[in-house]
Structure 1
């Protein structure tokens, strides 16, 4: 059995960010990072604009696992699957052996939500959540002209825009009535839709795929409301769900994610969580900035300086070349109204309560430059 001071499960941005911060603070601690994939280091946000740049998965790799291990002076086990946590014994069972830890950090990420779809779509539906997925979808798209995107949230819109720029005929199917329904008021959703249509993206709102039939190289789709369309490949981008199985099996409290307090500690001693898998004080934030802040705070805590993570207002930046978009949506339980200022593609939308207190905002076009000023007008998410 091998002993490590800190054992990190997951080689995404969260796992690697924590390893970097730990190494800055403690040059001598033994750190092992395990990953079910190759553990190569890359920027996941770049996956949703790689097609238009004609990048292969290999070209998106910034450093290999071997290079990261040498740079950080840590141990990395790629293609290693965590099987079971024995919290009482401080042990992790893996398919490569038994590991002993003093501190265990879960950075297991999230997996794509899979929709029930007609049998005829089998083999033609893909989600892109890592480099392997990206390369597979890139290969599947070769020689294709028509691609359908399921979902009009952040990831769906980014991929739709990128695929259109790459020269594909892109259709978007979504249950909502506008793009980025969770981030934008309808008025600004309409502005974004117009720009995406100008880029060649077509939208099918308010319905789902009910029937599918293969005819030669084409996939004929029938929506629940009777509309028809043809496609050759489907990219499913209907959302992500935190990976909770390992934590739940160890009887760690879970909700939307693995529940942690402001110190990122779970309900089980010496086990922590951060990143897409974590629910921090009720918030499950799958964005880069909160992960970076979490890694800095947790590294301090793990090296003996108990540090509560703090989340300021962190506007969401949408990678949509058709229209610059930044948003910080108001909590759903907050009562207020939208006000708008601007013209054309350049808008400032503010969501305020009856007292004029700013609760959320959305910016498009040139107005995205106001995001930091508006963010400072609002109280921190977690102080």
Structure 2
């Protein structure tokens, strides 16, 4: 049995960011990170731009788990699975033994949503959510020409752009009628689609896979709207689901994520959550900046200075070289209208209330330089 002042489950960006901030504030604190994978340190958002740069998974590793452990003076346990939390006894059962904690932080991330697909697609459908996934997909893509992306959200569009740039024949299948439907008004969604089509990306919007059959290492696909297509490999990018299994087993309140308050505390004493797995005051923000701000605030709280997290407006930067895009969408409940200024590829779109208040915006092309100015026009997300 081992004891730690702070035990962090998850060694992704959220887990390591918190460990870094804790070590800055407390040089002597005992800290342990558990990871289901290698626990090597890398930037997951960069994976969606890796194929066009001909990068292997190893190329993304900035520091190994051993190097991070030495640098931060922490314990890192790769390939260690947390199986059960006993909140009353302050202990976590793992497949490598029992660990006691004073403070437990869940940074368990999120996993790709698995779509119900025809049996014939088995073995053809992959997702990329970590380094190992990336390497497997890279290997499966060798000698392939036709790749289909399921989903036209942020991740799907970034991969479609990158794979097309890398020379693949890329098709996108999406239930939505346009790419980035959650982030862009229809006019700018159409502009993005045009730019990706110019790269060779083919779109099948407003539909899904109805049937598939295997023929000579290729899938013949029938879509629900009757259209047909062929592919050799499918990348599923249909969204992420926060990993909440451990939290639910410990009777921690969960909703769209592990529910935490402004201090990132869960409903159970001495247990906290941050990153993709957390629902912070109703928000589930799976981006780098909210994680960075969460880590700084939580580190202060864990070291004795109770601190509320504060989120300004944090525009989403889409890594789509075909069309530079920055977006901060209004919520579905907010009422307003879009107005557009610009020409060609350079547009500013403002979503404003009837009183003229800025509720959301989208910038494309050269207009993306205005993102900080527009963000300052809006109230903070969590003040």
TM over 0.5: yes
CA–CA distance in 1 between the matches of 2:336 and 2:275? 30
- Residue matched to 1:340: 340
> Cα distance, 1:200 vs. partner?
1.0
Query: What aligned pairs does 1:1-383 form with structure 2 within 5 A after superposition?
Result: 1-383=1-383
**Aligned-pair CA distance for 1:301:** 0.2
CA distance in 1, matches of 2:331, 2:113: 23
What CA distance in whole angstroms lies between the structure 2 residues aligned with 1:23 and 1:247? 25
Deviation digits for residues 359-382 of structure 1, max 9, x if unmatched?
Answer: 000010000000000000000000
User: How far is the alpha carbon of 1:217 from its aligned partner?
Assistant: 1.8
2: CA distance, partners of 1:262 / 1:23: 22
Deviation at 1:201, TM superposition (A): 0.6
CA distance in 2, matches of 1:102, 1:116: 41
Mapped partners of 1:187, 1:95: distance in 2: 52
SS at match of 2:62: strand
Residues 167-187 of structure 1: CA deviation (Å, up to 9, x unaligned): 000000000010100000000
Q: Secondary structure at the match of 1:133?
A: helix
**1:279-338 Cα distance to aligned partner (Å, 9 max, x none):** 000000000000000000000000000000000000000000000000000011000000
SS of match in other structure, 1:108? coil
Cα distance, 1:218 vs. partner?
1.2
Distance 1:156 1:294 in 2: 26
Q: How many angstroms apart in 1 are the aligned matches of 2:228 and 2:125?
A: 18
Give the CA deviation at 1:221: 0.4
- Give the Cα–Cα distance (whole angstroms) in 2 for the partners of residues 342 and 214 of structure 1: 47
RMSD: 0.4
For 1:369 and 1:41, locate their aligned partners in 2 and report how far apart those are by CA, in whole Å: 30
* SS state at 1:62 partner: coil
Structure-1 separation of matches of 2:230 and 2:92: 48
Note the residue ranges of structure 1 that are not aligned, 5 or more in a row: none
Where 1:148 maps in the other structure, the secondary structure is strand
> Deviations for 1:106-163, whole angstroms, at most 9, x for unmatched residues?
0000000000101111001001000000000000000000000000000000000000
Q: Residue 40 of structure 1 aligns to a residue in which SS? A: coil
Separation in 2, partners of 1:381, 1:297: 15
Runs of 4+ in 1 over 3 A off after TM superposition: none
Distance 2:75 2:217 in 1: 47
Q: Measure how far apart 1:190 and its partner are.
A: 0.7
For 1:266 and 1:109, the matched residues in 2 are separated by: 16
Q: Secondary structure at the match of 1:63?
A: coil
Between the aligned partners of 1:331 and 1:231, the Cα distance in structure 2 is: 36
What is the SS of the residue equivalent to 2:347?
Answer: strand
Distance 1:277 1:194 in 2: 34
State the TM-score, normalizing by the size of structure 1: 1.00
Q: Give the secondary-structure state (helix, strand or coil) at the position aligned to 1:317.
A: strand
